Structure 1
Amino acid sequence: MSTRLSLSRDYPHGVPAFAAALADPEFHRVKLDVDGSGCIEVLAFERRDDRVRVVLRQPVPPGQVPSVVERLLSGVLVIERTEEWRLTPRRCDGRARVAVPGTPIGADGTMSVAPAGDGHSRLAVDLAITAAIPLLGGGIERSVVTGIRGLTGSEHERISRWLEHAERAG
């Protein structure tokens, strides 16, 4: 069983600006650095033609880990996130896979950046979160979804700042 998380955000920047950002490994690191600690690691970054693959390691700051998940851990919660994107000026489509090493918790899903009218774009994410733990899995999945929703506001702000800076610089 899994729990779905679907969300979207609109940005006052076109798809080409988003495609340029997604082609930059530093963008991926910055967008996830929600607490400003600089602890996000880009483990791998590959770009071939219109394809991008990035692997990131992200420690989750204390206090942002759901208590039901915290009990499963022997230390700091670390998320390993792999994103694979196909980038075009008209639309960007991707897949995301998330693993929490040392736990049976993960996620898999799709992402897209599409036109949203008037030169704007919409980032949409659809994930299936899975916690393969008998009896507790559903509650853990719901806690993870709540945690992700809480982090998306900060991620949205970081993406917006990146795109605004790139627009002014370009």
Structure 2
Amino acid sequence: MSTRLALSRAYPYGVPVFAAALADPEFHRVKLDVDGSGRIDVVAFDRASPADGAQRVRVVLRQPVPPGQVPAVVERLLSGVLVIERTEEWRLTPERCQGRAYVAVPGTPISAEGTMSVVGEGTGDGAGEGSRLSVDLDVTAAIPLLGGGIERAVVTGIRGLTGTEHERISDWLDRAGRAG
């Protein structure tokens, strides 16, 4: 069993600005640094431009979760600091960005997997007025009897962090939009 998390946010910049951000390893580090500690590690970053014209990006990040932001039910499973390992694989074009996310929490039976997309809003060509980032994840805690409660606590925790992540993405896109 798993618990679904679906999130969607609008941004005032078109898909090309978002695609350029997703092609930058520093963007991925900054967007997840919700507590401003700078403790997010980009473990791996690969970028390729195959013949189809779409850019491919794969980024692996390691993110310690600040104390006090770990749900109590999850904290009981830990012997130390909660660390999230997140892999994102993106296919980027000026019209649309499509991705997959894989999340693991080492030392726990908690994981997540799902899809991400950035599509244009406005003119329909992706380059217009704005864009929308959508994330659809299935969170799984493979623990008999307690799994559903842990999954709901993790989803609630993620929802609590998305506001700050949205601000960090917005700040990055604002700077990129002014520079472009």
Where on the TM-score scale, by shorter chain, does this alignment land: which range?
over 0.9
In structure 1, how many angstroms separate the alpha carbons of the residues matched to 2:140 and 2:7?
A: 17
Code of the residue aligned with 2:100 in structure 1: it is R
* Stretch moving more, 18-27 or 113-122: 113-122
SS at match of 1:125: strand
Distance 1:77 1:130 in 2: 16
Distance 2:15 2:166 in 1: 16
What's the counterpart of residue 115 of structure 2?
110
Q: Tell me which residue corresponds to 1:119.
A: 129
Unaligned runs of at least 5 residues, structure 2: 50-54, 123-127
Q: Which runs of 5+ in 1 are unaligned?
A: none
2:175 to 157, 165, 168: 165
What amino acid is aligned across from residue 129 of structure 1 in structure 2?
A: V
Deviations 1:84-140 (A, max 9, x none): 000000000000000000000000000000011151100000000000001100000
SS at 2:29's partner residue?
A: helix
- Superposed CA RMSD in Å reads 0.6
Task: Tell me the CA shift for residue 168 of structure 1.
Answer: 1.4
Structure 2 match to 1:138: 148
Partner of 2:27: helix, strand, or coil?
helix
Query: Any runs of at least 4 consecutive aligned residues in structure 1 with deviations exceeding 4 A, and if so which?
Result: none
Number of residue pairs the alignment of both structures matches: 170
* Aligned-partner SS, 1:161: helix
Distance 2:170 2:90 in 1: 19
Q: How does 1:28-43 map to 2 (within 5 A)?
A: 28-43=28-43
